[in-house]
Amino acid sequence: MEIVHTVRRMREIADESCARGKVTGLVPTMGALHAGHFSLVRAAQAESSRVVVSIFVNPKQFWPNEDFENYPRSFEKDVVALESLGVDHVFAPSVGEMYPAGFSTAVSLEGLSERLEGRSRPGHFHGVATVVLKLFEIVRPSFAYFGRKDAQQLRIIEQMTKDLNLGVRIVPCAIVREPDGLALSSRNACLNPRERQAATALYRALDRARRRVSQGEVNTKQLIQDVEQTIGEEDTASLEYAEIVETSDFLPAEQLRNSCLLLIAAIVGCTRLIDNALIERKEGSFQVTL
């Protein structure tokens, strides 16, 4: 496994892969890797002849008061894990390598990037879209793997890829959870034991909605009230938003429709967590995937 720190070397590898007709799968990450990331790597290995995992904590997707400096980092450990999984290349550029002096371009998507996460974290998705576009240009993958855990990010990357004819197939991957339901996240490492316990409220809220939907509830206001109640019962958790939106445009849905997402963001202690459930109409009834 080669660890690549420069754009130039990564480009050489990409050119050589293209010349040899290799199919490259890219898994973009910010490191502090866990089983959720590894599931993306395995999905990539199943379809690609060469797998590149990028590790880059992207300052442009954090805004000034956020946790860029304190974001968990475990580069040595990540490299050992990726090596044992049989990954071909780790692309780990420095901030200066990705954003040299004078860098001034930002990719912005209208509408989609301003709602929900974009409203809570202004500029976040510009940073995400910009870095992903750069990674696509540098690594030149045929496939790129993104977790459904970051549902709005996934939708934005799909839209950007389509709008700009990037020719990369975006592969959505299922959310990997702890046995008690908490979605794996690098930020979970910031939770103390009491907060770790409280953090399960996000999953419990989604699971409660799943049960309500299976009993025939289609009124989204009612479903959201249930979420608010479940999170409200936890002292250390405060809900930032809970919304049910159409998967296509992330606009609020009053009733459940063919494909919706129930999205939650909550602060547990000092840690901001997100989670979601996909609600789809299948054979006349709604099914909820957590």
* Smallest distance, ligand AMP to C-beta of residue 175, A: 4
**According to the binding rule CB under 6 A, does residue 113 interact with ligand AMP?**
no
> Closest approach of Cβ 176 to ligand AMP, in Å?
4
What are the tokens at 1?
Answer: 């496994």
Closest distance between ligand AMP and the C-beta of residue 171, in Å? 10
89 as an active site residue: the answer is no
Among 4, 13, 26, 30, binds ligand AMP (CB under 6 A): 30
* Catalytic residue selected from 37, 89, 124, 126: 37
Q: Which residue is nearest to ligand AMP (CB)?
A: 147
How many whole angstroms separate alpha carbon 23 and alpha carbon 1? Answer: 17
Query: Does residue 25 bind ligand AMP (CB under 6 A)?
Result: no
How far from the centroid of its chain's Cα atoms is residue 69's Cα? 19
Site membership for ligand AMP, residue 191 (CB under 6 A)? no
- Sheet arrangement for strand 50-55: 2-4, 89-91, 50-55, 24-29, 143-147, 169-173
Q: Is 54 in the site for ligand AMP (CB under 6 A)?
A: no
Q: Which stretch binds ligand AMP (CB under 6 A): 2-10, 37-45, 98-106, 263-271?
A: 37-45
Angle at 121 between CA 205 and CA 264, to 5 degrees: 10
Does residue 40 interact with ligand AMP by CB under 6 A? yes
CB 44 within 8 A of CB 27: yes
173 scored as a contact of ligand AMP (CB under 6 A): yes
- Among candidates 264, 268, 266, which has minimal Cα distance to 191? 268
Binding to ligand AMP by residue 29, rule CB under 6 A? yes
In the list 98, 129, 184, 209, the residue contacting ligand AMP (rule: CB under 6 A) is: 184
At closest approach, how far in Å is the CB of 223 from ligand AMP? 22
206 binds ligand AMP (CB under 6 A): no
Q: How far apart are CA 25 and CA 161, in angstroms?
A: 15
- Dihedral angle, C-alpha 26, 29, 56, 6, nearest 10 °: -20
Q: Which stretch binds ligand AMP (CB under 6 A): 5-13, 32-40, 190-198, 231-239?
A: 32-40
Asked whether position 128 contacts ligand AMP by CB under 6 A, the answer is: no
Count of other CB atoms within 10 angstroms of residue 59: 16
130 touches ligand AMP (CB under 6 A): no
Regarding 134 and contact with ligand AMP (CB under 6 A), the answer is: no
For position 196 contacting ligand AMP by CB under 6 A, the verdict is no
> First CA to last CA across the chain, in angstroms?
34
Residue 253 contacts residue 231 (beta carbons within 8 Å)? no
Instruction: Give start and end residues of each alpha helix (H) in the chain.
Output: 7-19, 35-47, 75-85, 95-98, 117-120, 124-139, 151-163, 193-198, 200-214, 220-232
Give the integer Cα–Cα distance in Å for 156 and 254: 22
If binding is defined by CB under 6 A, does position 183 make contact with ligand AMP?
Answer: yes
Q: Which residues are at the interface with ligand AMP (CB under 6 A)?
A: 29-30, 36-37, 39-40, 146-147, 149-150, 173, 175-176, 183-186
Catalytic amino acids?
A: 37
